Amino acid sequence: MTDEKSFIRRIPGFRSGTWWKMGLAVLGYGFIILLIIGLLFPGESPTTTTVKTPAPTQAETGIQVEIDYSGKWQGALGTGANVKSVSGNGAQTFTLQSNVALVSVNAQKMDDSSKTLTVSILKNGKVVATENTNAAYGVAMTSASV
């Protein structure tokens, strides 16, 4: 029993034998252990889906970016160094220059609803990349070589 007491007394937070310091130490060590477990075994978000299969949508030509959400959203879209901030409500389509190689888009929900926010990149009316989220204040982002 003496060896056990001396071992515990060597751990920071338990040295003084004060009950509130020991309680705080237990909480702190527990948080650190959970943090380490979270870093070692990261989980995948079940609310985000990425699909990069072409699917016909509209008959327009060129490059379009669609952001679709029934509530308020904010985001950015662009090509390389030419990035533009955007915001809005509901579905919006943005037309980009046709002579670009890479297009990126991201959007964030501005509320905590479980409704789905979707961002899509289209080339000649066909979806080349799309992503969605239904997380509270969720972010959906994708990019595509067009």
Distance CA 110, CA 47 (A): 16
Phi-psi region of 90 (alpha: psi -120 to 50; beta: other; left: phi over 0): left
- Residue 66: the pLDDT is 95
Q: Which domain holds residue 72?
A: 48-145
> Do 54 and 107 have their domain in common?
yes
> Do 130 and 63 have their domain in common?
yes
Q: Where are the alpha helices (DSSP H) in the chain?
A: 2-8, 19-40
- Residue 57: the pLDDT is 44
> Do 7 and 77 have their domain in common?
no
> Do 135 and 93 have their domain in common?
yes
Distance CA 95, CA 80 (A): 15
> Do 11 and 66 have their domain in common?
no
pLDDT, one tens digit for every residue, the chain (146 residues): 555 567 778 888 888 888 898 889 899 989 899 888 888 877 655 455 555 544 444 446 788 999 999 999 999 988 877 888 899 999 999 998 777 788 889 999 999 999 999 999 998 889 999 999 999 999 999 988 87
Q: What is the token pair recorded at 96?
A: 């980009």
pTM greater than 0.85: no
